[in-house]
Amino acid sequence: MNIAEKILARASGREEVKPGEIVQPKVDMAMVNEITGPLAIQAFKKIGVPKVWDNSRIVLIQDHQVPADTVKSAELHRIMRQFAEEQEIKFLYDVGLGGVCHQIMVEKGHALPGDLIVGADSHTCTYGALGAFATGIGSTEMAAVFATGEIWLRVPSTIRINATGSFKKHVTPKDLILYVIGKIGAAGATYKAVEFMGSTLSQISISGRMTLCNMTVEMGAKTGLINPDEETFNYVKSRARRPFRALKSDPDAKYEKTLEVDVDRLEPQIACPHSVDNVKPVKSVEGTEINQAFLGSCTNGRLEDLKAAAEILKGKKISRGVRMIVTPASQEVYLQALKNGFLEIFVKAGALVTNPTCGACFGGHMGLLAPGEVCVSSSNRNFVGRMGSPEAEIYLASPVTVAASALAGKIVDPVAYLEE
């Protein structure tokens, strides 16, 4: 079996499972944020069960509209706090204590190798970076998980991405996942698992692996996974809050198909409006003027992302007419970036550094775009109206491309631009 099948078999108490089978596995961890959580809480109360199945396996995170920007969002925050108190849920990451939910789940040791994790947010698949089967579900489905600790799932078939070779300078894991999405298509992996393997993986940090798995949902995937290795175990050993059992794909595991990617030949990629699979080499859209550059989100708001951008911006000024928003993914990332001097570099360059939040990516709190404006973003979605006006345009790229473009005032291929 491959890793996705092994995790579902283990969680279902079975020796083996096969693609297409319906299983009823036990959930290891469940997560909601303040956008999806209140709906789940409301539905849970209608079920009539007095207590959640296990209050030590539920994580509540305020992250989208933080701090509250309207009375409505303040009410949603309060519902989360009240539920945590009623159910004696220890893991409530409130304003000032956490950050973007997917960063917190990994950073704080709630997501571990071999886990089955469900989250009421589509980018829950991020935790596959640690070798977990993690998937997004709806709020009413989460209410049933709160009550029973179980869920129905169909065992997915798996697409294997075999990445070999080494990244060239200024080419990143974000470029790799954009390239893959462009090849597979926005619906090409619907309800499938996507497993990354190959020699390139050993060169990619946990942060980079989170970027890969985070965007598998943009191909329609049920989950994205990477087999755990020494990099994984070194990351989780000081963070794990409970015992775990790592699982790996068998050498003779079966896959629906394999996509071979030669990373040696990979160049910076960009997803053009208004679809994540509208992917092209950055150099093909060079010269497109921008109004905003966004660095952050659950895709690319981690320390190595901020470091890459800071190295490019150090001692320079963002182009006149461009506003740059930098949003660290968590309080931990924010504090480390502060200690390393990255935040000072951003501020001196003319960028706005915000508190850890989903921020501009979500398009409901800050950094909204006006009609006709163009943003180059390190986030994961460029749908019509995603970041404000439906008449605005969003280009998705790596933190390196975002930073270089902010300096140039237009989209540029960072490889050529930074070596001029």
**Interstrand relation of 153-154 and 22-23 (parallel, antiparallel or unpaired):** antiparallel
Q: Are residues 120 and 243 in the same domain?
A: yes
Q: Are residues 149 and 13 in the same domain?
A: yes
Q: For 53-106, give the DSSP string.
A: S-TTSEEEE--SS-S--SHHHHHHHHHHHHHHHHTT-SEEE-TTT-BSHHHHHH
- Amino acid 273 reads P
Q: Are residues 337 and 205 in the same domain?
A: no
* 10-52 residue pLDDT tens: 999 999 999 999 999 999 999 999 999 999 999 999 999 999 9
Q: Are residues 22 and 132 in the same domain?
A: yes
Number of domains the chain contains: 2
Q: Are residues 213 and 295 in the same domain?
A: no
CATH code of the domain in which 355 resides = 3.30.499.10
Residue 253 within any structural domain of the chain: no
Note down the domain range covering 289. 269-417
Residue 409 within any structural domain of the chain: yes
Q: Are residues 215 and 77 in the same domain?
A: yes
Residue 301 within any structural domain of the chain: yes
Q: Are residues 194 and 342 in the same domain?
A: no
Given a cut of 80, whether residue 335 has pLDDT beyond it is yes
Measured N-to-C along each axis, helices 331-339 and 342-349 cross at an angle, to the nearest 10 degrees, of 80
Residue 261 within any structural domain of the chain: no
164 Cβ contact list (under 8 Å, min separation 6): 198, 199, 200, 260, 261, 262, 263, 264
- Amino acid 306 reads L
Q: Are residues 167 and 292 in the same domain?
A: no
Residue 134 within any structural domain of the chain: yes
* 126-145 residue pLDDT tens: 999 999 999 999 999 999 99
CA 275 to centroid of chain Cα atoms: 17
Q: What is the mean pLDDT of the chain?
A: 97
Q: Are residues 319 and 383 in the same domain?
A: yes
Q: Are 382 and 273 in contact (CB under 8 A)?
A: yes
Phi and psi of 163, rounded to 5°?
A: -100, 125
**CA-based R_g, the chain, Å:** 20
High-pLDDT (> 90) share of the chain, %: 98
**Assign residue 20 a region: left if phi > 0, alpha if psi is -120 to 50, beta otherwise?**
left
Whole-angstrom Cα distance, residue 275 to residue 252? 35
The answer to whether the predicted template modeling score (pTM) of the entire model surpasses 0.75 is yes
* 293-302 residue pLDDT tens: 999 999 999 9
Residue 102 within any structural domain of the chain: yes
Of 247, 282, 314, which residue constitutes the final position of a domain? Answer: 247
Residue 254 within any structural domain of the chain: no
Q: Are residues 228 and 339 in the same domain?
A: no
Q: Are residues 320 and 224 in the same domain?
A: no
Q: Are residues 282 and 243 in the same domain?
A: no
Residue 58 within any structural domain of the chain: yes
Given a cut of 80, whether residue 420 has pLDDT beyond it is no
